[in-house]
Amino acid sequence: MAGRTFSAIRELAAPRDLEESRGFRFFTWASICISMAALAIRDVVSPSLILLSVILITLGFWVSWLTRHRPKILFKLAIAGLTLVALASFLRQSYLQPYDPRVPLAELFLWVQVLHSFDLPRRRDLLFSLVSSFVLLALAASFSLSVSFVWIILLWLAAALPCLYLAQRSRLSSLSHKPQRIATLRPSLRSVTTALFSLLVAVCVAGLVIGVSLPRVSLTYMRSLPFSLRRAFFSSGDLALTNPGYPDLPAHPPETPLPVNPEAYFGFGTFLDLRVRGEMLDIPVMRVRATRPAYWGGLRFAQYNGYSWLPMEEKPVKLETPSQPFTVPTPPGRAYVENDVNVQTFYMESEQPNVVFAAYRPTLIYFPADLLSYDSSGFKTPFILSEGLVYSVVSRCTDLSDRELAALGEPTRREDLAPYLSLPELPRRVLDLVGEIVPEGAGPFERARAIEDYLKANYDYSLDVPPLPEGADAVDWFLFEQRRGYCEHFASAYAVLCRLAGVPARVVTGYSTGDYDPFSGLYDVGLDDAHAWVEIYLEGAGWVTRDPTPGFVVPGHGGSLGISWIFKDFLAWVGRNLSPLLPASLRAALKKGLSALVTGAGNVFSGLAYSTRREPWLPFLLLFVVAAPFLFRSSARRRRRASYLAACPGGPLRSMELFLQEMESLGLALEPSETLSEILDDITRRFPGLHLAEEFHLFESVRYGGRVLSDEESLRFSRALAEALRTARRSRRAVLHRLSRFFKLNAKGR
Partner 1 sequence: MLFSRSLVVLGLSLAMVLVGINSRSGWMYWLAGMLLAALVVSWIDSLLQVRNLEVRRSHPSEVGEDERLEVTLRVRNRGRLPRNLLVVVDEDPAGDRFPRRFRLRAPRKSPLRYLREPGPPSVGSPAEEGGRAVLLLPHLEPGCEAEISYRRGGLRRGTFGSRPVYLYSEGLLGLARHCSRIQVVSPLIVFPSYVELEGFPLLDSSPHVVHAPWRDPSRGDGLDFHGVRDYQPGDSLRHVHWKTTARRARLVVKEYELDTKAPLLISLDNRRDEDNAASLRLLDAQARLVASVARYAYLAGHPVTLVAYRGIRPFSLEMSDFRSALRWLAALKPEGELGPREQLEALHPFLGGTTVLCKLMCWKGEPLPSASVFSRGLQAVLILVEPSRRLAASAGRTSAGGAERDLLRRAREALPGLAHVSLYREGDDMKRCLEEPLSGLEAYPYRKEKRV
Please name the helix (run of DSSP H) or strand (run of DSSP E) that holds residue 402, with its range, or none. Answer: helix 402-406
The only residue of 207, 254, 409, 435 in contact with partner 1, by rule CB under 8 A: 207
Per-residue x/- mask for partner 1, residues 398 to 437, rule CB under 8 A?
----------------------------------------
Report which of 229, 515, 521, 221 is spatially closest to residue 341, judged by C-alpha positions: 221
For partner 1, the binding residues in 72-91 under the rule CB under 8 A are: none
Beta bridge partners of 392: 345, 366
* Least distance between partner 1 and beta carbon 36 (Å): 17
The only residue of 46, 148, 191, 235 in contact with partner 1, by rule CB under 8 A: 191
> Quick check: 317 binds partner 1 (CB under 8 A)?
no
Report which of 595, 488, 22, 522 is spatially closest to residue 269, judged by C-alpha positions: 488
> Quick check: 520 binds partner 1 (CB under 8 A)?
yes
What gap in Å lies between CA 325 and CA 610, rounded to an integer? Answer: 49
Contact 461, 485 (CB under 8 A): yes
Beta bridge partners of 342: 395
Q: Are strands 515-516 and 523-526 parallel, antiparallel or unpaired?
A: antiparallel
For partner 1, the binding residues in 318-357 under the rule CB under 8 A are: 343
| Residue closer to partner 1, measured from CB, 210 or 625 | 210
Select from 190-198, 327-335, 406-414, 666-674 the region that touches partner 1 (CB under 8 A): 190-198
The only residue of 46, 148, 224, 665 in contact with partner 1, by rule CB under 8 A: 224
> Quick check: 193 binds partner 1 (CB under 8 A)?
no
| Residue closer to partner 1, measured from CB, 212 or 582 | 212
Select from 252-260, 285-293, 366-374, 503-511 the region that touches partner 1 (CB under 8 A): 285-293
Please name the helix (run of DSSP H) or strand (run of DSSP E) that holds residue 167, with its range, or none. Answer: helix 149-175
The only residue of 56, 73, 204, 715 in contact with partner 1, by rule CB under 8 A: 204
Per-residue x/- mask for partner 1, residues 86 to 125, rule CB under 8 A?
----------------------------------------
Sheet (strand 378-380) strand order: 317-320, 371-375, 378-380
Backbone phi, then psi, for 194, in 5-degree steps? -60, -45
> Quick check: 703 binds partner 1 (CB under 8 A)?
no
> Quick check: 65 binds partner 1 (CB under 8 A)?
no
Select from 133-141, 496-504, 536-544, 670-678 the region that touches partner 1 (CB under 8 A): 133-141
Three state DSSP letters for 623-634 = HHHHHHHHHHHH
For partner 1, the binding residues in 706-745 under the rule CB under 8 A are: 712, 723
What gap in Å lies between CA 140 and CA 155, rounded to an integer? Answer: 14
SS3 assignment, position 311: coil
| Amino acid residing at 234 | F
> Quick check: 702 binds partner 1 (CB under 8 A)?
no
> Quick check: 14 binds partner 1 (CB under 8 A)?
yes
> Quick check: 2 binds partner 1 (CB under 8 A)?
no
The only residue of 694, 705, 708, 735 in contact with partner 1, by rule CB under 8 A: 694
Backbone phi, then psi, for 438, in 5-degree steps? -75, 125
Report which of 489, 481, 471 is spatially closest to residue 548, judged by C-alpha positions: 489
For partner 1, the binding residues in 226-245 under the rule CB under 8 A are: 226
> Quick check: 518 binds partner 1 (CB under 8 A)?
yes
What gap in Å lies between CA 436 and CA 419, rounded to an integer? Answer: 25
For partner 1, the binding residues in 159-178 under the rule CB under 8 A are: 161, 164-165, 167-169, 171-178
308 contacts: CB under 8 Å, gap ≥ 6 = 253, 271, 272, 273, 274, 275, 474
> Quick check: 457 binds partner 1 (CB under 8 A)?
no
For partner 1, the binding residues in 17-56 under the rule CB under 8 A are: 17
